A = this chain, B = another copy of it.
């Protein structure tokens, strides 16, 4: 009987579960909508149902599941496998997800937040392969991130590391959902770009529309993008001076913007905020996993302890 793992990505709008080989090949996949009104108990029941089905399928495929990895949309106490809270669904506060799943299925389980899982996914299967020092920045509605340093995920003492989205960039800048002012997220997330475009151009715009207008030469839209790029360069430069990564990987919806509008100007702006020796050889590239980042992250999490460090 071959060995395999199970990954589950628990997001705000959907949950995805997959059965994979030890090499990360996905064998079976299940997806379902998150029923927010059913709260944590409903979410937990749905996770259990998907895991149960996939375990049956694993048996049919002749795969023995060695570990379950859960990427959760909210902060998690990694050591104890306990959810601090969900960003999207009520009732997850202090939910002992690891213990509950291990009790039910008798399979070792690891639980982490989705930003850490996404970072592990890009490192193991995506744009971070072969690099032991990287910064992953996910730019969507909000901004999250993760750091691999010396071939290990940086967690911090309460597993809260990687919060580049809440680095202050402009102390008097716009209000952030976190309650403080001028965080990177309030300046360069998809919501922030949409908000600034809407305000300055005077019609409701998404961040995608702001990028489209900028591409067609609208100077106000170009200015909005330019300010977001500068905020990203500021924050990524600060992070790079602190941990000297080889590669910066941009994921999330905003990173899908045309290279000439986001990645290229970001590369040009970064040296302003970086020691020259830290800038030397630093790569800034787009993530590779796209919509699979969540589930591949959960699989990477499940595989983590089986995997040797990436080659230098």
**Chain A residues in the interface with B (C-beta under 8 A):** 75, 84, 131-133, 147, 149-150, 152, 154-164, 166-168, 171, 178-180, 234-235, 237-239, 241-246, 272-273, 275-278, 280-281
Q: Which residues of B contact A157 (CB under 8 A)?
A: 131-133, 244-246
Count copies of this chain in the complex.
2
Q: Which residues of B contact A244 (CB under 8 A)?
A: 155-161, 163
Point out the residue from B152, B166, B235, B243 that lies within 8 Å of A147, measured CB to CB: B243
In the complex, besides A133-B156, A157-B244, 8 extra interface pairs with C-beta distance below 8 angstroms are A150-B152, A154-B154, A156-B278, A158-B244, A160-B275, A168-B273, A180-B273, A238-B238
CB<8 Å pairs between A and B, sample of 15? A149-B156, A150-B152, A150-B155, A154-B154, A156-B243, A156-B245, A157-B246, A158-B277, A160-B244, A160-B278, A163-B275, A166-B275, A168-B272, A171-B273, A239-B242
Top 3 A-B pairs ranked by shortest CB distance? A156-B244, A157-B246, A133-B157
Tell me if A's interface is mostly helix, strand, loop or mixed. loop
- Contact across chains for B162 and A242 when beta carbons are under 8 A apart: yes
Q: Which residues of B contact A245 (CB under 8 A)?
A: 156-157
Interface centre among A84, A244, A245 (most CB of B within 10 A): A244
Write the chain B residue with the least CB distance to A134.
Answer: B157
- Contact across chains for A277 and B155 when beta carbons are under 8 A apart: no
Write the chain B residue with the least CB distance to A280.
Answer: B158
Q: Which residues of B contact A281 (CB under 8 A)?
A: 158
Q: Which residues of B contact A171 (CB under 8 A)?
A: 234, 272-273
Write the chain B residue with the least CB distance to A158.
Answer: B244
- Contact across chains for A243 and B161 when beta carbons are under 8 A apart: yes
Least distance between A143 CB and chain B CB atoms (Å): 11
Point out the residue from B158, B162, B241 that lies within 8 Å of A164, measured CB to CB: B241
